[in-house]
Each structure stands twice: as structure tokens, then as C-alpha cells.
Chain A
Amino acid sequence: MAQYRRSTEKPILSVRDLVVKFKLRGKTLTAIRNISLDVYKGESLAIVGESGSGKSVFTKTFMGLLDNNGWIDNGEILFGGYDLAKFKNEKEWTKVRGKRIAMVFQDPMTSLNPLKTVGKQIQEAILLHSNISKAGAKQQAIKLLTDVGIDDAERRYKQYPHEFSGGMRQRVVIAIAIACNPEILICDEPTTALDVTIQAQILDLIKALQKKFELTVIYITHDLGVVADVANRIAVMYAGDIVELGMCEEVFFDPKHPYTWALLSSLPQLGIKGEDLYTIKGTPPNLYQTIKGDAFAPRNPQALEVDFVARPPYFEVTPTHKAKTWLLDPRAPKVEPPEYIRRLREQGVTFNG
């Protein structure tokens, strides 16, 4: 089980007031709107949100992997004594990228170079960040293959990606990611492209590795089932902002933001037989325009007038749980969470991937 530190403990990664913008078709799009977030050593944090909410973009800034038309407009990303937001050239990034922060991508079928043996691709990652010999790196690569649960690693080392199944390839990608003993592992939808039967295996592997190597893991996912299975803390993202942040059980059983309510309500597990599933009406806001007030207000049937005027600040629910919604303001009327959420709390539904 991951270790937790007291408030005196400094976070391993600290994001302050981050703004990320993109230039697209001559227009400027604000993908990340003033996010602040602390990540603590050894925890597993899940960032959830629908497509386009900016969750991938957010984590890409930790690796310096934003597309060419995107840039950090404001804010800082403090990690290991550096401000990653200030990094300009690739030389600076090589100190962190792959070495101290590593990433696992969504689709294992396309993440590996089809023309290089998997062994060489792992070895390459090792050689990039340490000064050991090629033979030493090979030994290490074979050990890594064993670590990620690939049998007969000596033989598999010499094989090409197309000789591996999807799940096996994802194991190789994970082996590459942990090759240099990173401190933070970012898993961007690590199971979305896999068969359901394989998903649990990969999540178990990541959990086991997290324990073994004392990793801090950041999951990016839209699958709340995955979240319930692996995360200690959840950050709910909507329209480029974290609208609710709390421990896993706090967000699941005592959600405060109407968007979190809506997100949880649309879980198929909560549906009642014979009734339509809950769906969130409307579409996410246009990020090309400046968003006024609460970004979710236009889709929220119970939005307050203030939601259209002013952007809500964080309201603290517990020391570990906060949400950006005016409903938590003492002046707000009492708005009950929807039926689904109450049922979730009362019945204590469990999710298993």
C-alpha cells in the first residue's frame, strides 16, 4: 500500500496556476485554465474527465511533450528543484524526461517501433540515462522483462513487437517506462485499448511495480471503474480545470461538484434495469472563448445565477477534499445531489474495473 506523508511533507510535484494554450487554425485555445495541484510521493492519483477536458495535455506538460502549437502561458511546475515550466531546450528535458518522470501510453499496438526488437527498445532507454555497458544494459533489460511478467525473457528479448499480443506489448511499454527507476509514472489511459480480460492484469502489474519501486503513479482515465480500482486520490477535470479533488472515497461517496455528480450518475453500474442511463446534456464548452463563471453551469440543470457570473474558488470540504462550486458557499441554497449519488452512498456500490 502506498505511503502517505503528513502535511509537513513537501509534494514531489507541485503545479501552480498552470495555463496552457494552443494555436489552432489561427485561433487560440486555452486548454488548461489555472490549475494548481500537488502530487505526493508514493500515492496514486487519478485524473478523470471526458475527452477534451485537457487531462492528457496537463500531464504532457510534466514531460515537455506538448505539441508544437501548444505552450505554457503561465504558472510553474516544480519538480526535483526545477521549474519544468521554464524548460526551453531538449537538453534540460533529458534530465527529467524518461529518467525521473516516465509515461505509459494508451495504445500498445502503436507505441513500439515495429522494426526494432523489444529488447533493443528497452536497452535503448537504459543506455540513455546511465553509463553502463551494452551487455549490462541487456542483462538489465532481460530482468525488466521478467519484472513485468514476461516469461522466457531471454528469447522474448530478441523478438519484434508484432510477435507480442496487445497485453504483452503494454507490459513491454511499462518495462521501458520503469527502466530508469523513475519517481513518477504517468499512465495515460493504460488499459483503454486492451481487452477487458487483460485490463485487470495490467492494472495489477502497475500496482505491484508501484509497491516494488516506490513509484508515484498518475493515471489519466475516463473509466471510473479503473479509478475505483487503483486510485488513492481523484482529480476531476472539466474544461481544463480541476473542479473537484479528494480522496477516492470522498469523491465517490460525498461528491460536491455538480459535474462530479453528473459523471458518477452516468456510470452504467448505477443504472436501474428498465430505465434509461443517465446522460449529461449538452456539450463541453468552447475553449476558444473565454469561459465566464463555472464552465459546467450551462449544462447543469440546477446552476445558480452566480455560476454564470463568477468563477468559483476552491471550497474546502475536508482537509483533503475540495471542490470548485458555489454550492459550497454558505450563502448558497441547499441543492441535493441527484438520486443516483444518494443511492451510491447508501448502497455502497463497489467497482471492480
Chain B
Amino acid sequence: MDMVKYCLGRLGRALITMAIVLSIVFLLMRLLPVEGYFGDRSDAMNPKVKEQVLKSLGLLDPWYVQLKNFWVDLFHGDLGRSIVYRKNVPVMDIILPKAKYSFQFGMAALVLEKVIGLPLGVLMARYKGKALDKFGNLYILIINAVPAAVYYLLIQLGGSSLFGVSMLYKPTDPTSWILPTISLSLGGIASTAMWMRRYMVDQMNMDYIKLARAKGMTSSQVSFRHVLRNAFIPMAQSLPASILFTISGSLYVESLYSIPGMGGLLVTAIQRQDNTLVQAMVLIYSAISVCGLLLGDIAMMICDPRIKLTKKGGSR
């Protein structure tokens, strides 16, 4: 009963947050450079035509009218029409098919990063200060320090010239998946391993570990029955958001490998100054973010028995 109540309360808060966030984002979008509404022929237009375009888009109305229209349209599932990218096509029709590609790559990378990152973090904590830990830390250091934009390039270059794998994504060629998936997962492996290691080490220093050891458990029993489980819980909170965000795709990797996903789309939309498309995508990002937080809190509540009584809110 407590659980249902908590979930409903949390859901209500999420909805309110969502409404506020989307409104703010929408209003921020009014700051977008105005030429992004005129399409490719903006140079050829005279000021009068431009004004007409803006008027037809409702952009000359007072902000509160625009906001109201935005919400009305949103309830009809209408986020506007593309201006340049695919002229007059509803943006949702452009975005949704793209999300599929992003999700496929994102999930592949997410699985890879958890399958490698979690055990790596566990082993690093277990053998803290030993060779494996040092190696792992070096990896984390390099991945965190070197800009992703740089090592993505090196992977693309190295992978294609050393192993002859395709440099760009081809739907017909399954090997063309390899490089983008690896690129996408490297950062995730590093951060998963780093946090898992940190949580494990934190747990190992807790008093209850002393008691568990005093019970007569060996340190590997303590690691598996107590530390691992407790260290995993904070990881669980971020998992739903990670899964949701796979559909938004990676901006850089997707455009680097020409994957027709959402991340690449945002880059293109900005480069080609398609304001409605940019706006729709940023709104989707914000919505995903709020949903991810909601699901993360619910995941925490399921995993952590303390939440129901001790924490009223879902603040991290």
C-alpha cells in the first residue's frame, strides 16, 4: 500500500515537473536564431515575406498565447512541421523512425558497458591497489581525460585501417556495427567501472562489514553476499535513465558513422538551422530526462527497503 502511494505521489510530482520543464524549454526555444524558420531561401526573402512566415507559424503572438498553443498542439501529438530537413513533414514522423536506430545501437552499447564495466569495477575493488586495479584506473583515466571526440576518431581510423571494417554504417553490413558500438560503450564502461568500484570500496569500509567478517565470513563471501548487493543499488537508480536515453542516441558517434539515428539528426538539424526540429528534439530530451528520474526513483524504492519510510522525496 505504501508502495502504491509512493509511486502515485512520485508520478504526480514527475508530471508537474514535466509541465514546468517543457514550458521553460519551449520559452527558451523562442530565443533560437530567427533565420532558422525561413528555410534554405532565407537570403532571397524580403522582410515582408519573412514576417509573414513568422506570423503563419504563430511566432509573433505574445509568449503566453504561443505557450497555450504549444500545449494544445502537444495534447494532439503535434510538435510542428520540419522547415528545412524534410519540408512540411511533421517532426514526429521524422524523429520516430530514427529513434529505432539509436535504440538498437544504444542498447547494444549499454549491454556491453554493463557486462564489462560492472565486473571490472567489482574486481578492481576486490583487488584494490593490485595490478588489475591499476590497469583499470589507467583505462578510466585515459577515457575520461582524452576528449571522446578524439578517441572516437582514432577508433574509426584504427578500426577501419587495421581491421578493414567499414568506416561508415551500412544497414546491410553487420560488421559496420562493431566500431560505433565499441565507441559508444568505452565511456560507459569507464564510468560504470569507476562508480561500481567506488561504491564497493565505500561499502567495504562500513561497520556492518566488520560484523559480517566477525561472523566468520571470508572476505570473498562478504564481497558477494553483502558488498556487491549494496553497492549495486545506487547503480540501479541510473539504469532506467540510461535505457531511456539510448533512444536519443549519441550526437557525435551517430553523425561520425552516418547512422540514421536521433543524435545525428539533432546535429544535422542544428547545422541546417531547422528550428522546429531542434525544438521538438530538445523537448523529447527533457521528457526522457524527467521520466528517467521517475523510473530511477521507483527502481531505488524496489531495491532499497529504507526509502519508503525514511525518504519522502525522490531527491538524490
Is chain B found bound to chain A in the same assembly? yes
Q: Report whether B216 and A94 are in contact in the complex, using a CB–CB cutoff of 8 Å.
A: yes
Q: B213 within 8 Å of A by Cβ? A: yes
Q: B208 within 8 Å of A by Cβ? A: yes
Chain B 274-310 interface 0/1 with A at a Cβ cutoff of 8 Å (1 = within): 0000000000000000000000000000011110011
Q: Report whether A65 and B305 are in contact in the complex, using a CB–CB cutoff of 8 Å.
A: no
Q: Given A105-B207, A160-B305, A162-B310, A113–B216 Cβ distance below 8 Å?
A: no
- Residue among B206, B207, B306, B310 with most chain A CB within 10 A: B207
How far is B303's CA from A37's CA once the two chains are assembled, in angstroms? 47
Q: Report whether B218 and A91 are in contact in the complex, using a CB–CB cutoff of 8 Å.
A: yes
Q: Report whether B218 and A94 are in contact in the complex, using a CB–CB cutoff of 8 Å.
A: yes
Q: Report whether A115 and B215 are in contact in the complex, using a CB–CB cutoff of 8 Å.
A: no
Q: A277 within 8 Å of B by Cβ? A: no
Chain B contact residue count (CB 8 A cutoff): 25
Residues of B within 8 Å of A160, CB to CB, are 305-306
Residues of A within 8 Å of B221, CB to CB, are 128
Residues of A within 8 Å of B206, CB to CB, are 110
Q: A63 within 8 Å of B by Cβ? A: yes
Rounded to whole Å, the gap between the CB of B53 and the closest CB of chain A is: 59
How far is B217's CA from A176's CA once the two chains are assembled, in angstroms? 13
B50-100 at interface with A (beta carbon < 8 Å):
none
Residues of A within 8 Å of B310, CB to CB, are 162
**Which one of A99, A110, A111 lies within 8 Å of B216 (CB-CB)?**
A99
Residues of B within 8 Å of A163, CB to CB, are 309
Closest residue of A by beta carbon distance from B306: A162
Q: A45 within 8 Å of B by Cβ? A: no
Rounded to whole Å, the gap between the CB of A49 and the closest CB of chain B is: 21
Q: Report whether B304 and A176 are in contact in the complex, using a CB–CB cutoff of 8 Å.
A: no
A48-86 at interface with B (beta carbon < 8 Å):
63, 65
Rounded to whole Å, the gap between the CB of B236 and the closest CB of chain A is: 12
Q: Given A94-B218, A162-B305, A162-B306, A111–B229 Cβ distance below 8 Å?
A: no
Q: Report whether B218 and A90 are in contact in the complex, using a CB–CB cutoff of 8 Å.
A: yes
How far is B212's CA from A110's CA once the two chains are assembled, in angstroms? 12
How far is B310's CA from A128's CA once the two chains are assembled, in angstroms? 32
Rounded to whole Å, the gap between the CB of B200 and the closest CB of chain A is: 14
Q: A102 within 8 Å of B by Cβ? A: yes
Residues of B within 8 Å of A173, CB to CB, are 211
- Residue among A65, A105, A114, A180 with most chain B CB within 10 A: A114
Q: A124 within 8 Å of B by Cβ? A: yes
Q: Report whether A112 and B219 are in contact in the complex, using a CB–CB cutoff of 8 Å.
A: no
How far is B216's CA from A63's CA once the two chains are assembled, in angstroms? 9
**Which one of B225, B303, B304 lies within 8 Å of A124 (CB-CB)?**
B225
**Which one of A65, A107, A115, A129 lies within 8 Å of B304 (CB-CB)?**
A115
Q: Report whether A111 and B304 are in contact in the complex, using a CB–CB cutoff of 8 Å.
A: no
Give me the interface of A with B, judged by CB distance under 8 Å: 63, 65, 90-91, 93-94, 97-99, 102-103, 105, 107, 110-116, 124-125, 128-129, 160, 162-163, 173, 176-177, 179-180
12 extra interface residue pairs, beta carbon distance < 8 Å, beyond A114-B208, A163-B309: A63-B214, A65-B213, A90-B219, A94-B218, A102-B214, A103-B214, A111-B211, A114-B230, A116-B226, A125-B216, A176-B211, A176-B215
Q: Write 13 A-B pairs (CB below 8 A) sorted by A numbering.
A: A91-B218, A93-B216, A97-B216, A105-B214, A111-B211, A113-B226, A114-B305, A115-B303, A124-B215, A128-B217, A162-B305, A162-B310, A177-B214
